[in-house]
Structure 1
Amino acid sequence: MFAATRPVQSLLLAIFVMMAGSGFLSTLIGLRLERAGSGTMVIGLVATAYFGGLVLGALRSGEIVRRVGHIRAFAAFVALLSASTLTYALLQHPLLWAALRLVDGICIAGVFICLESWLNDRAEPETRGSVLAFYMVALYSGQALGQLLLQTGKTVPAVPFELASILISLAIIPICLTRSAAPMLGEVEPLSLRRLFIASPLGVAGAGVTGLALGAFYGLAAIYARRLGLSLADTGTFMMVVILGGVALQWPLGRLSDRYDRRRVIIGCFAVTLAISAALATEMRGLALLVLGFGFGGLSFALYPLCVAHANDRLLPSERVSASGQLVLLYSVGAALGPMGAASAMTLAGPGGLFLFIALCTAAMLGFGLWRLAATQPVPDAAQQDFQILPRTTPVAALLDPASSDDAQPQPQKG
């Protein structure tokens, strides 16, 4: 299994270092804005700007990569992201920071497009699953460990931004020194959203609602934790535990969905996420907060790849890559809307409003899922595709999914 990563070790190292530097910025920026007296709606708007940048970058960055090549494009995106990160330390103003977060989102999307298309080119058909698994581990472990840098600004407020910029800049080195030839970035023909929804209403709705919930979480969870009275160190620990929960439970839940009707597993995940969110909305503290946070991360992070797998079960093999691209864009649009919805709930209901908003989203999805379960027949077990963990990054990540191979059998069922 480890042998599969040898051709892509420099790429995996780059994403790990990149996420260690950039993965905690949303937490840090939310905390700094709150400490400066910004309201919840303003913090939500800044978070929305980041996810809006991700959408724009996912749609437009590929043109830059095709024009100048992977290495030059990667270096340009990383240099701009590093400069943007340092700019936060110069002047704190919500409008400026919203503009910087928009730039950050565009740059991060560009970085993901470079790395994911490169990974796809280097991965052999029989090793795609292993490469994708290691990519996910590098991405989320870097993001989780980066949360520990929140504590470094106690005496000098600029230090976390400086450390983030250093790590982001270091991510260029493995790419610039790699001996691996950069690939050509192809284009994927889009699948119409209407065709996708007809094939899999549950997959489409699930991806969008998961974006609403996780966009709200990433944008405002740190504010939730601080308003519960958690210290800066405990806030970082809470965020890290949620992310690690997301890493730990995706694979077991995915294997479960391979053995049983995947719709039931998706509905079950939404149901338990609803219960956990309702509990977190009561503003629990201590060990209970960490345990529930771990469970929330494990279930909510699994929902997007489960929805993609469900949609793949009901599409032709030739449609799966473009469908996965559409689903990640739907997720990103949902993530851009989520922080504002959650900010409104927190303004009305206090810190617990964040998870109250998430509970409402998951409750609506639970009802929709139960309706789809009653209205349609499941995909036969023998025809169901194997679950594959997928990142919620850019449409290019779909190319790494072994389920997109033409070897899979088409499924005509709808649901």
Structure 2
Amino acid sequence: MAFKDALRPVLVLLVATILLMAGSGPLGTILGIRMNEAELATPIIGLVMAAYFGGLTVGSLQTFRIVTRIGHIRAFAAFTAIVTASTLAYPVHLDPVPWAALRFVQGFCMAGLFVCIESWLNDSATTQNRGALLASYMSCMYLAQSAGQFMIGVPDETGFLLFIMMGVVLSLAAVPVAMTRMAPPLLPDIASLSFRRLYEASPLGIFGCISSGLVIGAIYALAPVYAAGIGFDLRQTAWFMSAIIFGGVILQWPVGRLSDLIDRRLVIVGVIIAGALTSVAMIAAPAGGQIALLILGAAFGGIAFVLYPLCVAHTNDHLEREERIAASGGLVLTYSAGATLGPLLAAGVMNLAGPAGLFLFTAVVGFLSVGFAVWRLKARAPVPADQQGRFQTLPRTTPVAAPLHPESEEDFGFSSAAPAQNPALENAEVPRP
């Protein structure tokens, strides 16, 4: 199947994804900068930013009920309206309490939007196009989020313009979905494995997902504060954040391919060591100038973003095939819990050590993870490389994304035929995260 033919049925979803990520991507950056300019304490900033990941975690568990009750199109429009309205509410008054509430609400609604998009993608996936859909969805997410960062460099003397621009882009995301003629899909029935079962299957996998969440949550929340603290202006901060996110794209395939060929645990250990050492280099990077910082930022992003899918693949190597989708759902929730906690812990370190405390925190997480990973190398024999499952990059959004993995086809009974028409929405099964 030609690549363009594979994407044609879901083009409106990919356009909506691009608009959502381009509009929401720079929001966290500008909020961190505004709170830093207002001289709020770093722990307060961390708490406000962590609220988004808390909302995302709760939303990934609960928003399917709303989607099932009112339908995908209306739910998508409602969630988009709330995200847009809350974006426009920020500049009215800078106060950490309502801002934290707004961040939580936005995280909750973004989870609902991801549930809508990802269940539609699942419904459109076939044997021929499953890999292309997942790769395109991931590319749209990362690249739009990276490109959207440059919006913060627009001069804004009023303090409102940037939020208006983001609100406009976010509101436009509802247009292609509201005008689609796609049939409403069923939500996949996903029951996440318990934390205990996941840990029994792969202690390294569950520990790695938590570590990944701690690091990425801290970076998304506090990297703008770090950039402002070392003297970056808005344009330079946009470049810095964009470099980190774009770096997360470019290393996924080569590192993942390597993990298919050798003991995947060795690749995970290597990635964690590289992340810890890059964190140490980032502490000294400002002395090397902006170019050095951007290069190291891209390297750090590439290393940090690849750890989660590596840990998912490693966990799958120790599970029965019928457990793997449930495991992916449980692991994304584990990651989300880490991402909620990460900004709080990193903010405390930054409060004591200054801006460099962000990467001191990620370095500590990395070195602790190395110790745990080395212990696991000695505690269990490796899975032979020819018996390992195939690596696949995965979104860290909601459990509904799990069936997009190409190896999920047999588990969910997908066939190469066109997706069947769905029954009435009220008869749909709902996920049980």
Q: Where on the TM-score scale, by shorter chain, does this alignment land: which range?
A: over 0.9
Instruction: Verify: 1:381 aligned to 2:385, yes or no.
Output: yes
Correspondence for 1:397 among 398, 401, 420: 401
Give how far 1:3 is off. Answer: 2.1
In structure 2, runs of 5+ residues without a counterpart are 413-433
Correspondence for 2:323 among 316, 319, 323: 319
Q: State the partner residue of 2:258.
A: 256
Instruction: Verify: 1:3 aligned to 2:5, yes or no.
Output: yes
Instruction: Verify: 1:187 aligned to 2:189, yes or no.
Output: yes
Give how far 1:153 is off. Answer: 4.3
Give how far 1:404 is off. Answer: 2.6
Judge conservation of contact 1:242–1:296 (CA < 8 Å) in 2: yes
Q: Secondary structure of the residue that 1:175 maps to in structure 2?
A: helix
Judge conservation of contact 1:317–1:405 (CA < 8 Å) in 2: no
Judge conservation of contact 2:32–2:45 (CA < 8 Å) in 1: yes
Deviations 1:132-184 (A, max 9, x none): 00000100111001100112243221111101110110000111111221202
Q: State the partner residue of 1:361.
A: 365
Which whole-Å CA distance do the structure 2 matches of 1:12 and 1:63 have between them?
23
Give how far 1:123 is off. Answer: 1.2
Q: State the partner residue of 2:82.
A: 80
Give how far 1:203 is off. Answer: 0.6
Deviations 1:73-125 (A, max 9, x none): 11110000000000012121111101100001001110001101110111112
Which whole-Å CA distance do the structure 2 matches of 1:210 and 1:195 have between them?
20
Q: State the partner residue of 1:151.
A: 153
Correspondence for 1:41 among 36, 40, 43: 43
- What pairs up with 1:11-410 in 2 under 5 angstroms? 11-284=13-286, 285-406=289-410
Which whole-Å CA distance do the structure 1 matches of 2:186 and 2:108 have between them?
21
Q: State the partner residue of 2:424.
A: none
Which whole-Å CA distance do the structure 1 matches of 2:51 and 2:411 have between them?
40
Q: Secondary structure of the residue that 1:190 maps to in structure 2?
A: coil
Residue type of the alignment partner of 2:344: M
Residue type of the alignment partner of 1:251: W
Judge conservation of contact 1:388–1:403 (CA < 8 Å) in 2: no
Judge conservation of contact 2:191–2:329 (CA < 8 Å) in 1: no
RMSD: 1.2
When structure 1 is superposed on structure 2, of 107-116 and 147-156 the one drifting more is 147-156
Residue type of the alignment partner of 2:66: I
Give how far 1:368 is off. Answer: 0.7
Which whole-Å CA distance do the structure 1 matches of 2:131 and 2:114 have between them?
18
Deviations 1:3-29 (A, max 9, x none): 211111110010001100011111110
Deviations 1:225-251 (A, max 9, x none): 111111110001000011010011111
Residue type of the alignment partner of 2:371: G
In structure 1, runs of 5+ residues without a counterpart are 409-415
TM-score (norm 2): 0.92
Identical aligned pairs, as a percentage? 51
Which whole-Å CA distance do the structure 2 matches of 1:367 and 1:127 have between them?
40
Which whole-Å CA distance do the structure 2 matches of 1:116 and 1:351 have between them?
37
Q: Secondary structure of the residue that 1:373 maps to in structure 2?
A: helix
